[in-house]
Structures are given as C-alpha cells and as structure tokens.
Amino acid sequence: MSGTYRKLEKLSDLDDLIYQRNDNFFHSPDEIRTLRTKYILESFKHHLVKNEKYKVYAETLGVNIEEIQSDKELHNIPLIPSKLFKVQKITGIKDEEVAKVCTSSGTKGSISKVYRDEVTLERFLGGMQNIIDSLLELDDAYCVNLGPDTEEAGDLWFSYVMSLISMIFPTSNLVKEGNFYPDEAVKEIKNSILKYENIVIVGAPAMFLELFQYMKKSDQVVHGCNNILCLTAGGWKRAQGQALSRKELFCELESVFHGIKSENFRDILNMVELNSIFCECHKHKKHVPIWTKIIVLDPITLMPVPDGEEGILAFLDSSAESYPAFVLTDDIAKMESCKKCKCGRTSDIVDIVRRVKDNDARGCALKIDAKYCKKEGYND
C-alpha cells in the first residue's frame, strides 16, 4: 500500500482476535498458551492500573505481576470470588462510562451486579458472534428465542444474552410482557423451517420442556427438523429443585421435532461475571475461547488440580475492560487443558459438574422457570 493514506486508529491485537480471526480454535496448544498468557497479563496490568480496589487486593495477597510470566503461573492472578459481585461494586470505570449494569437472577435474594462499559459489551457481542461462527457454523439462520427481547430482558444477564442473538440472526421472541407463548413458537418454527437453511431455538432447558409439553398436549409435531439447532443455557435445575435430564429432554423434543439430530442439541455456559460464552461443539464439548483461560482449583488449597479432576471453577477472561473478569465461581467443574477435541478444535474444554452448595442452584434458569413456566402439568 502506498504511503499516502492517513492512518486511522489501530485495532488492538485482542480485538483482532475477538472480531476478525476465524482460526481461534485451530492453534496448537503452545500457541494457545502463548497467546492467552499475553492477553490475560495485559488485562491484569490494565485492571491493576484502573481499579484501585483490585490493586489493593492484589497487594494484600502479595501478588507481584513480574512473577507471573507463563500460562502455568496465571493461576496466581488474584481471583475475585463471585459472591463479591453481590456485595461490592467491582469496577474500574466512572458511572458515566457504564453502558449496562448486568445483573444475576438473585433467586436467593442477593443479586450480582457487573458493570460493563461499551468496549466490554462490544467484545462480549463480538466474541459471541465469533464463537457462533466458529462452533455452530451457521450461514442463513432464523432464531426462535424462548425468552423476551432485549428491552423486556432488562438487566437480567441471562435473558439479555439470549436476546442479543437478534443482533446476529433475525429472531422472534416468545416471551412477551411476562408470558410465554408456545403456540406462537411452534407457528414460527413451522413457518421458517423451509424458508431458512437453519432454525435456531434458544432458551433455558425449562422453556424447552414447556414447549414440548404444549406440543404434546396439543398433539403437534414438526417434520423435517434436521436443520433445527437447539441451544440451551442457564442450567439444568427446575425452580422446584428437581434436576432436568438432558437426555430425557432431548428424547422428548425428538418425539415432537421429527428428524432433529442429537448433535444439534447444544448447551452454552455463561455467567454474569464472565464476558464470553462457552459453547458446545457437535461432540458436546464446551470450548473455551482463546482469550479466556479456565482453571479448576482444589477447594482446600486453591491450587490447580490435574486435568479431569473435579474442583472449583475459576476463569480469567481478558475481554473485560470495565471490571476484572478473574473470577472464582461457585461451580464444581472438570476441565481438559488445551485439548484437541474429536471435533477437530483445540481449546480448554470445561464440564460443569454441580454447584458448590446444593441449595444454591444455578439461578438464571430457576428464575426463568419460576417466572415464565406453568407450574402444573409437568411429569418430569
């Protein structure tokens, strides 16, 4: 290119990774470790400068950034217990820079608040697009969201994330003014199944169950569903406490959506404190994007456990600018680090086993269940 162009603002390497790269799941393990270490350390430095409370916290713990150089030392970055987001305002930005206050469900009365600025929210959206492109590989798709639109979702992060899919695909939202309309959902699916290459149905597992029960009760089936992709998110417990079986739900859906493939039944993991989504591939493995590292820690020593062993899930997400997304969660998980999956992709792979405390089940799905699902007629 000749030198006569006026140069405009340069895109950062991290933004290049999130917005423009389509090879994020095709690096070697060494490349993954090198790249994510670079971005996570840059993010750590950023939060030490921007967030006085976090800096003091790191100093109190005696953490010296100079001593963290490699991927295997990243677990020394001070982690914020997710419960702290319920009691502290954890952000390094001014009030006027807050684009959205994102909240958890607060089923137990306490609500986590995460303050996202424009950059953080844009990266979340960009990362979502990147991961959908990379893991779902959908071209022409129509989305049926078994939840509310962005406006009705308000600050509740789970519903908001689900509704943001309308930024990517044409979408119909089936929760309106607090009511779920399964009849309209079926109509939307039937109307669009021949028009679009793919139909994406997204929602909490309980909403899928609600849809199934309506279809069963009204004796409805949809044929030719090999192009339907079901994306569940938000957890697998009902408001009444009982666990939902993923296998059973798929069998039930299979009985009303004829031709649907089990490989197209995918689960997504996100938490209000996490600025990325972990989406399943067709082998049902949840892949962690390259800008985020997950660590599974021994509950007593808080040291990383070997791959495949259960422990407390922590994540280091470099895409958040407005708050340190270095979080110790309430989830028990297992992981495989920089694993080459049978699907051909290489990344950290995470599997959530349960919550740390049984009586504090994952709140988002519970809130959705309690709010939108009928309380009678379930036989699960």
Q: List residues binding other proteins (CB under 8 A).
A: 1-2, 4-12, 15-16, 19-20, 99-100, 118, 121-122, 125-126, 129-130, 139-140, 149-151, 164, 166-167, 170-172
For residues 42 and 309, which CB has a smaller minimum distance to other proteins in the complex? Answer: 42
Task: Please state at what angle helix 182-192 crosses helix 205-217, rounded to 10 degrees.
Answer: 90
CA geometry: angle 228, 231, 234, nearest 5 deg: 160
For residues 71 and 321, which CB has a smaller minimum distance to other proteins in the complex? Answer: 321
Please report how close the Cβ of residue 130 comes to other proteins at its closest, in angstroms: 8
For residues 165 and 314, which CB has a smaller minimum distance to other proteins in the complex? Answer: 165
For residues 194 and 300, which CB has a smaller minimum distance to other proteins in the complex? Answer: 194
Which parts of 51-167 fold into alpha helices (H)?
A: 52-60, 84-87, 118-131, 150-153, 157-163
Please report how close the Cβ of residue 256 comes to other proteins at its closest, in angstroms: 25
For residues 136 and 253, which CB has a smaller minimum distance to other proteins in the complex? Answer: 136
Q: Indicate the burial class of 203 (C-beta count within 10 angstroms; 0-12, 13-18, 19 or more).
A: buried
Please report how close the Cβ of residue 116 comes to other proteins at its closest, in angstroms: 9
Please report how close the Cβ of residue 3 comes to other proteins at its closest, in angstroms: 10
Please report how close the Cβ of residue 201 comes to other proteins at its closest, in angstroms: 17
